[in-house]
């Protein structure tokens, strides 16, 4: 079995609803997604997937959809205010935790046809959440 991983760094803000800790306040992270692909067979070039293609497809989506955005639950009461101010937001159906951001990126990469094993989301240097299906 072959595996490759690519890191994609991005900045995001969020806050957690119904949470009794400091993450209930708006704050930001310099995050890092690590996308790991797996394949039994390599392609004709000897690759699982070209690192550049992974960066172009998933990295560009992260840049556009998540980078320098506030990731907020759709019920977050601050959402209408931020929208009225023209602030960029990414709205989620679930609490925008590291766990759920990892799954969001995982689902996007799978939908683009990549053979994704796992997505890790490093929220800080010491806190990481990961999502995989098996
Ligand atoms: Zn946070």
- What is the model's pLDDT at position 134? 73
- What is the model's pLDDT at position 23? 86
Q: Give distance in angstroms: CA of 102 to centre of ligand 1.
A: 13
Q: Give distance in angstroms: CA of 111 to centre of ligand 1.
A: 26
- Quick: pLDDT tens for 9-58: 999 999 999 898 888 999 999 999 999 999 999 999 999 999 999 999 99
- What is the model's pLDDT at position 132? 97
- What is the model's pLDDT at position 120? 98
Q: Give distance in angstroms: CA of 86 to centre of ligand 1.
A: 22
Whether residue 36 contacts residue 51, with contact meaning beta carbons closer than 8 Å, is answered with: no
- Quick: pLDDT tens for 59-87: 999 999 999 999 999 999 999 999 999 99
> What is the layout of strands, in order, in the sheet containing 2-14?
89-92, 69-73, 2-14, 27-39, 116-122, 128-131
């Amino acid at each position: 079995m072959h595996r490759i991983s690519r890191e994609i760094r991005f900045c995001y803000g969020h806050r957690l609803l119904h949470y009794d800790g400091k993450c209930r306040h708006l704050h930001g992270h310099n995050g890092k997604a690590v996308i790991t692909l797996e394949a039994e067979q390599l392609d004709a070039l000897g690759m699982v997937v070209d690192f550049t293609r992974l960066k172009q497809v998933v990295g560009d989506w992260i840049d556009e959809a998540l980078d320098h955005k506030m990731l907020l639950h759709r019920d977050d009461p601050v959402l209408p205010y931020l929208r009225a101010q023209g602030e960029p937001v990414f709205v989620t159906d679930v609490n925008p935790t590291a766990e759920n951001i990892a799954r969001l990126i995982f689902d996007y990469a799978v939908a683009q046809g990549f053979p994704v094993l796992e997505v890790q989301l490093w929220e800080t240097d010491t806190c990481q959440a990961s999502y995989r299906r098996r």
